[in-house]
Structure 1
Amino acid sequence: MTKVTTNLLYSKDHEWVLQLGGNRVRIGISDYAQNQLGDIVFVENPDSDDEVTANETMGTIESVKTASEIYSPVSGTVVSVNEALGDEPEMINEQPYEAGWLIEVEMSNPEELESLLNDGAYQEFVRKGDV
């Protein structure tokens, strides 16, 4: 069973967004995504001060099974990167919604949040297999 957290928004690419206040958000990958990837062994995130664009590649996650691109669900400037993932990428498998977050972004276009799915819509999206 895929764990979904109610206070998050989700993209159809299986990234989640937590609103932190103002235009700042935290981004990670969903429990569904980490389950599909398997044991994660490496994460390549953008650097602080990098610009990210909604629906475009912002990094890569490698697992024992495959490598997968990570897509930014919003546009803006990276203000924080989860440096702990460099030594412990498995935190994404263990705690995808807590310690396994990827980056924080100062959004340039907060309206982009409106295109994301709430927890119920995301659960339905995964359940239907539209992934």
Structure 2
Amino acid sequence: MSNPSTGTIPPGYTNQQWREHYYYVLRKHGLTQSGNGVTSHGLRYQFLQQMYAALAGEPAPIKRAEECGPSELHREAWQRVGMIAGLSAATKVNVYIAVRRAGTRGVARSLTPKDAEQAMSKRAE
């Protein structure tokens, strides 16, 4: 949980110290764009999309080719994902589960365990 005054930064750390520590831990475990193609923010996207799917019983809108209807289950999942992510405005949830960048086509793909294994094997090479 985040602290309203300090966010997710633990006591005793400055913002810069916590940022450096965070990225050190990611590098230590090979979670880098250049190392295995994974970013921590990308993992956040995937987690929130999976959470939406678990709550709504269907993939997040960004994972589907067709539009989703304004069902009550969709609205509830949307709100819960925003709350879980700590987003202050419901419209910010769009970035994670519904909006594609202009010019992109198709459905965003999910990483599979095989994808993760391949990424980790690239790191070991």
Whether the TM-score (by the shorter chain) exceeds 0.5 is no
TM-score (norm 2): 0.23
Query: Relative CO higher for 1 or 2, CA cutoff 8 Å, sep ≥ 6?
Result: 1
Higher normalized helix content (fraction of residues): 2
Higher normalized strand content (fraction of residues): 1
